[in-house]
Amino acid sequence: QVQLVESGGGVVQAGGSLRLSCAASGRISSIYSTGWYRQAPGEQRELVASMASAGSPIYADSVKGRCTISRDYDKNTVYLQMNSLKPEDTGVYYCKLTVLRGDPYWGQGTQVTVSS
């Protein structure tokens, strides 16, 4: 089985920074892409950042220039560095692992709250 566990969320003031981590465990087939999504209360889940095994990272326009997605292959961990956080960044952030065969995997999410 595959399990994704997010961490690093919390409460931060506007302009602050957070680094989210997504640790993967279990048997994982060939990875197509990894990504971060977020969901604010009453809103749909939206893409924040994604990165294919081959290709450049993709960022939502709302976070471009403030967020960086990266991977540590030795630790099987995906990171999302978020800087200059805004109140509208508040939400539950989910890690997503898309594989070449089968359904994607999702973590349980980590709460990010940005206060003004």
Q: Is the dihedral of CA 111, 49, 68, 43 positive or negative?
A: negative
56-93: per-residue pLDDT in tens? 899 999 999 999 999 998 889 999 999 999 999 999 99
Q: 102: which 2 tokens?
A: 């089968």
Q: How many Å is the Cα radius of gyration of the chain?
A: 14
Q: Which of 95, 109, 91 is nearest to 11 (CA)?
A: 91
What mean pLDDT value characterizes the chain? Answer: 94
Q: Looking at residues 95-110, what average pLDDT do you find?
A: 94
Q: Which amino acid is at 61?
A: D
Q: How would residue 53 be classed by pLDDT, with cut points 50, 70 and 90?
A: confident
